[in-house]
Structure 1
Amino acid sequence: MANPLTAAAVLAALRAEGVRVVEVGNWRTHNRNSKGAWGPLNGSIVHHTVTKGTDATVRIVRDGYADLPGPLCHGMIAKNGQVHMVGWGRTNHAGGGDPRVLDQVVAESYGARPTPPTRGNSNGTDGNARFYGWECENLGDGKDPWPAAQYDAIVRVQAALCRAHKWSAKSVIGHLEWSSDKVDPRGFNMADLRADVAERLKHPASWSPGKTTPTPPKETPVSTTDDRVKALHSNLLAIGEIGTTAKGTPSGRVEHGAGYYLAHILNEVRALRADVAALKKEN
């Protein structure tokens, strides 16, 4: 556990790690602190945005939606590797998640991955109070590429936080490892990302590997067709629970609105269509 870094401290940590930072508006005071606590913090969560275009993505993660106010993360990691800081404090990024996973992250004690989560946004522990959140510009369909510059920035951001708090790489998880109804980030493997973060932490913050930017590892599939159906079902149920009480949210209500879930439902439908097309091709 740790107190959140100040805005000035996180800027210093990111820049020392070689991250190219873009400060967006009043990001240092833009937050959801009126809805509950932020901290003590236990780790950092990596997400994908399900969006296209850096400018539009920055606007979305900063301002949010009509039914899900921004900021939706602390920083957005763009395709070109720039990190756009959009908020500092409590943000609407993690939602509810599995308390067993939280315990494993706090202890930094698990194998290649934390225990698969069995709780999600509607019935889980409040993650917005406990994690930094980083959205990464990507359609999240498993086909949209992760440029080397972007992947390198993801590694550097997570290493900067771990270095500042004296955490190991096991304090970094993906949203799919936190919540049973999430599949992000899709397109690379979180175990590989943690290995790359751990490698950076063996060196000074100014270190650069032999290649300027590492090539993102190929994804080890973590989402089967059955997983996608379960995620689709979970998101449909969550829409029906909007406005009802939920464990772990200080306001006593689900913070994500219908637009949030509909975006993920559309993503799952696209993935299922791709599965069906692949099966037809095989047969």
Structure 2
Amino acid sequence: MATPLTADRLLAALRAEGVTVVEHPGWRTHDRNGAGAWGPVTGVMIHHTVSSGTASTVAMCSDGYTGLPGPLCHGVIAKDGTVHLVSAGRANHAGGGDPSVLKAVAGETYGDRPPAPRAHQGSPNAVDGNSRFYGFECVNLGNGADPWPAAQLDAIERVSAALCRAHGWGAKSVIGHLEWSDWKSDPKGFGMPVMRRRVQTRLNKAPARPAPAPGAGKPAAPRLQPFPGTSFFRAETSSPVITAMGRRLVAEGCSAYAVGPGPRWSEADRRSYAKWQHKLGFRGSDADGVPGAVSWNALKVPYTR
């Protein structure tokens, strides 16, 4: 068992394994830690969503639904292989499961499959899987007929390997929900033993990102405007930095401008920036429209002389 990765380390581990990651607003602090323990972690659990469509599925997995509040996983693996992160803490994905399975996974002591589960949520001897497993929901109807594209299976492999590599686990630390609870059937449409073999093959090699397209050079990282400090944002400030910020807010769909944006800090700037803070998941006094270092760095304002 291991201490869960921080949000930064989780993101770095996935990217190092070549995973294409989308960060859902507020995912770093969106969790169910108030409902129970998060960790020590034992492994990775793979699910199917019984849904279609990336945007609606990500929203559901982030927000939850009646009777089951979100987040419902740590990441959503789309059909195109993109992984949408929605949480870095405890998530409502595994529920109760079999203690013999937990022991076998923690020790990686089983053969082709863990012991058949004989427990589920509400069983007298069930153990809390939400505190012990990272969970990834894969967009699939779960009917055995909905296809699993190669890009999606590759992403499942990479995500699983990334977390195993980060914690020093083998592929036997990766299981399906159906291997945890006798009530569950996910993921349906591919076999977890085959996926574990894929994961172990990847773990036997050094991590590597996908090769760039032929002739593609590495683009230079754009120079970004450093955070000028909270005191910079006041009525008397007139600067091209304010204009550059406003243009980025417009590009992010966070505009409250009737005209502009322009170089002088205004109420329209403040209201537009508050929209950006809300998009990132900030609330209350943290979303007052006055830029702070975290939200500013996330906005990626181009450098302006």
Q: TM-score, normalised by structure 1?
A: 0.73
Q: Does 1:156 align with 2:158?
A: yes
Name 1:18's counterpart in structure 2.
18
Q: Does 1:40 align with 2:33?
A: no
Q: Does 1:177 align with 2:186?
A: no
Larger RCO (CA within 8 A; separation ≥ 6): 1
Residues 187-228 of structure 1: CA distance to partner in whole angstroms, max 9, x if unpaired?
A: 00000000000000011110669xxxxxxxxxxxxxxxxxxx
Name 2:238's counterpart in structure 1.
none
RMSD (Å), alpha carbons: 1.0
Task: Give, as a single letter, the amino acid of the residue that structure 1 aligns with 2:55.
Answer: D
Task: Give, as a single letter, the amino acid of the residue that structure 2 aligns with 1:39.
Answer: G
| In structure 2, C-alpha distance between the alignment counterparts of 1:184 and 1:171, rounded to whole Å | 17
Using the TM superposition, give the Cα deviation of residue 81 of structure 1 relative to its aligned residue in structure 2, in angstroms: 0.3
Using the TM superposition, give the Cα deviation of residue 67 of structure 1 relative to its aligned residue in structure 2, in angstroms: 1.2
Name 1:58's counterpart in structure 2.
58
Task: Give, as a single letter, the amino acid of the residue that structure 2 aligns with 1:12.
Answer: A
| In structure 1, C-alpha distance between the alignment counterparts of 2:205 and 2:33, rounded to whole Å | 35
Residues 109-162 of structure 1: CA distance to partner in whole angstroms, max 9, x if unpaired?
A: 101000110001111110000000000000000000000000000000000000
| In structure 2, C-alpha distance between the alignment counterparts of 1:170 and 1:66, rounded to whole Å | 34
Name 1:188's counterpart in structure 2.
190
| In structure 1, C-alpha distance between the alignment counterparts of 2:89 and 2:19, rounded to whole Å | 20
Query: Which of 128, 131, 146 is the aligned partner of 2:130?
Result: 128
Q: Gapped runs of 5+ residues in structure 1?
A: 210-283
Task: Give, as a single letter, the amino acid of the residue that structure 1 aligns with 2:96.
Answer: G
Secondary structure at 1:103's aligned position in 2? helix
Name 2:139's counterpart in structure 1.
137
Contact kept in structure 1, 2:97 and 2:117, CA below 8 Å: yes
Residues 82-118 of structure 1: CA distance to partner in whole angstroms, max 9, x if unpaired?
A: 0000011110000000000000001001010001100
Name 1:96's counterpart in structure 2.
96
| In structure 1, C-alpha distance between the alignment counterparts of 2:209 and 2:110, rounded to whole Å | 27
Q: Does 1:201 align with 2:203?
A: yes
* Pair 1:197–1:208, CA change in 2 (3 A): farther
Contact kept in structure 2, 1:79 and 1:137, CA below 8 Å: yes
Task: Give, as a single letter, the amino acid of the residue that structure 1 aligns with 2:164.
Answer: C
| In structure 2, C-alpha distance between the alignment counterparts of 1:87 and 1:208, rounded to whole Å | 25
Q: TM-score, normalised by structure 2?
A: 0.68
Contact kept in structure 2, 1:200 and 1:207, CA below 8 Å: no
Task: Give, as a single letter, the amino acid of the residue that structure 2 aligns with 1:136.
Answer: C
| In structure 1, C-alpha distance between the alignment counterparts of 2:197 and 2:4, rounded to whole Å | 24
Residues 31-67 of structure 1: CA distance to partner in whole angstroms, max 9, x if unpaired?
A: 0001010000000100000001111100100000021
- Which runs of structure 1 show a deviation greater than 4 angstroms over 4 or more consecutive aligned residues? none
Whichever of the two has the greater Rg, that structure is 2
Contact kept in structure 2, 1:176 and 1:183, CA below 8 Å: yes
Q: Does 1:80 align with 2:95?
A: no
Secondary structure at 2:130's aligned position in 1? coil
